[in-house]
Amino acid sequence: MTTHPLETAPVAPTVPTPLAARADRPGFGGLARRAGELAGADELTDRSPRTDSPGRLEDDLGRLDDDLGELEDNLGELEDILGELDDTGLTGYFAELAAAVEQADPGPAARGGWEERERVRVSVWVRAAYEHPLSAAVFGRPGGPVAHEVRAAQAAELGFRIDVGRGRAVPAKPSAEVRAVAAVAAMWAVTATAFGPAARPPRERVVADAWTVVRETIAPALVPEIPTYSWTRGTW
């Protein structure tokens, strides 16, 4: 009896599942997204097992692990900064911004009047916040009691300057206090856009945007009203 060797179908080599196929697995979606950001989504997620070797994919995953480790280190540093920003640290931070503003303030005798003075104050504050290394952490949690007290003090000071600069007896509507609160809140909100998840806008664009919204908020209370007269027929 003659024995013939058993014929078997060729077995394809085992290749790790492409990153795109793993993206739906629990815990892997963020890694796959990070892969697309770091090396190009089409480079890592569109590969075919027929053209890429397992070793190359393993190298890619190894590099991604290194990048994830770096991200974790950066996150840890940010958490350390947030932990160090207690009330004393926040008070010192806002004191630095206030000192920069007071040093640049031209005072009530500014050549351009109230508009020049407020423009300088707003611009210096926003620039100082934009450049300060702690601002990202501060504006990441702007709702604390220290920040609330600083905003309230800024609004009170601005309201006082509006009242002094108006020079007219008829009360403004809304009141100077209301306009000041709105202007300060807008200035903070515009400044915070420099520390959001989107691409950071240029510094001077943030400064210009902040001053624009502040000016539009307080100008109606400061620009002198032009008196109008009505004449009754027959009184000429």
**Angstrom distance (rounded) from CA 186 to CA 198:** 19
pLDDT in the model for residue 28: 39
pTM over 0.95: no
- Tokens 């160090």 found at: 84
**Residue-level pLDDT at 222:** 77
Q: What would you report as the CA-atom Rg of the chain, rounded to the nearest whole angstrom? A: 31
Fold of 85-222: Tetracycline Repressor; domain 2 (1.10.357)
Q: Measured in whole angstroms, how far is the alpha carbon of residue 177 from the centre of its chain? A: 27
Q: Say what the pLDDT of residue 196 is.
A: 85
Would you kindly state where each structural domain of the chain is located, as residue ranges? 19-79, 85-222
Return the axis-axis angle of helices 145-166 and 203-222, rounded to nearest 10°. Answer: 50
Q: What is the pLDDT of residue 109?
A: 87
pLDDT of residue 203: 97
Up-side HSE of residue 113: CA atoms within 13 Å toward CB? Answer: 10
| Calpha distance 61→155 (Å, rounded) | 53
Name the DSSP letter for residue 165.
H
Q: So what's the pLDDT on residue 40? A: 47
pLDDT value, residue 26: 40
Instruction: Give me the residues of the chain with pLDDT under 70, please.
Output: 1-54, 67, 69-84, 142, 165-172, 223-236
CB 34 within 8 A of CB 63: no
Q: Say what the pLDDT of residue 30 is.
A: 44
Q: Report pLDDT digits (tens) over 13-55.
A: 544 444 344 444 444 344 444 444 444 444 444 444 445 566 7
Residue at token pair 């600083």: 150
Q: CB pairs under 8 A, 24+ apart, for 96-101? A: 96/128, 96/132, 97/125, 97/128, 97/129, 97/132, 100/124, 100/125, 100/128, 101/125, 101/128
d(CA 90, CA 77): 18
